[in-house]
Amino acid sequence: MLAVLFRTILLGIHTYVWWRLIYQSRLPRRWYIGLTVLIVLLFLSGPLTTASRNVWPSLSATFGWISLPWMALCGLTFVALVMLDVSGLTVRIGRRVIRRPAPQVSPDRRAFLSRITGGAAMAIGSASVARGMVSARGEHEIVDVEVTLAKLPKALDGFSIVQISDLHIGMTIDRAFVQRVVDRANSLSADLIALTGDLVDGRVEDLRDAAAPLGTLKAKHGLYAVTGNHEYYSDADPWIAEFTGLGIRYLRNEHVTIGDGAASFHLAGVDDHSARGYEGHGPDYARAMAGRDPNRAVVLLAHQPRQVRRAAEHGVDFQLSGHTHGGQIWPWHYLVRLQQGGLLAGRYEWNGTQLYVTRGCGYWGPPVRLLAPLEITRVILRSA
């Protein structure tokens, strides 16, 4: 259902861009037909890229470098066109309100103006995509987040958790990209590494080699992970087994104790919010908290920020999440913020539970990040 909605929205965006850039510009017949065919093919290249991901991965990766940047370009051009058209509509409404007659514009003049505004929108979109691709394939920003926990013992003051999230290995994210993330994370000498879901987009047999560097992550107290929604699109159980074989422990609605004796805290993890539809999966907060010591601080790994609402009901002190990519491409982040109940990126507090939402280490779909840079998060726990 979600996929159908997404494709319908994309079709609407492509149709509007075609209408504004091609139809209204009154291009010569040869150009009109050629560009119409091109935009149809570019629209179809998106579903082809997705459909071939699990059948012909190399073809999907090749198509991905065409279809996915185009998806971003089309979307950003659409935004620029809408802004220009809304501005024009506002002027026309203003003229009517003050009863000032609109100037007469010939069809040729109208076509010329359409070409000028369309060209400006394409230029804005192209420049934004170019900037976004540099950001998406560039260096990861290390974001330090200090979190004070009332129940954290003094002995653990300064305990560091490096968070890796939303790598989306597959299509345009390959082994070299993953290795860069691993090298950067290892350079931080973390006490613990948390992987908060959406690590992969594809089957184990196709992406095993690309994901292998994650097995070389190093932290004194180990590597822990939870599932994200994209693990379920890619058959979660084989991936859980694969990453477990690499030394990463999945927290499936459970908690572990980090540290020794009184100098310790609980690290808990729950399945992704969307996992309820998959047999044997689904978040269970009561089970994750069962048997906890109420005098110990609880740090919860949960893929989606909106899971903090349930976490707060179970006395979680601090939740680490990803999923949103910080919106990834402005201004589409408004939709992501809406879908997550206002929780997009950075620090929040919900009924006594602190929350940090990372922008993530990779990207989904277009290799573009606009006003949402790549992030590796280093959480530093502080005692009160």
Q: What is the pLDDT of residues 235-262, one digit of tens each?
A: 999 999 999 999 999 999 999 999 999 9
The structure's pTM equals 0.93
User: Could you give the CA distance from residue 227 to residue 217 in angstroms, rounded to a whole number?
Assistant: 18
- For 285-318, how does the pLDDT look when each residue is reduced to its tens digit (9 = 90+)? 999 999 999 999 999 999 999 999 999 999 999 9
What does the pLDDT average to over 228-233? 95
Say what the pLDDT of residue 280 is. 92
Q: Which residues have CB under 8 Å from 331's CB, separation 6+?
A: 79
DSSP per-residue letters across 302-359: -SSGGGHHHHHHTT-SEEEE-SSGGGSBTTTHHHHHHHTTT--SEEEEETTEEEEE--
Higher pLDDT pick, 233 / 99: 233
Which amino acid, 349? E
Cβ(214)–Cβ(182) below 8 Å: yes
User: Could you give the CA distance from residue 129 to residue 72 in angstroms, rounded to a whole number?
Assistant: 7
Question: Could you tell me the domains of the chain?
Answer: 2-135 (no CATH), 140-383 (3.60.21.10)
User: Could you give the CA distance from residue 1 to residue 231 in angstroms, rounded to a whole number?
Assistant: 18
Cβ(203)–Cβ(234) below 8 Å: yes
Question: What is the dihedral sign for C-alpha 51, 55, 57, 60?
Answer: negative
What does the pLDDT average to over 65-70? 94
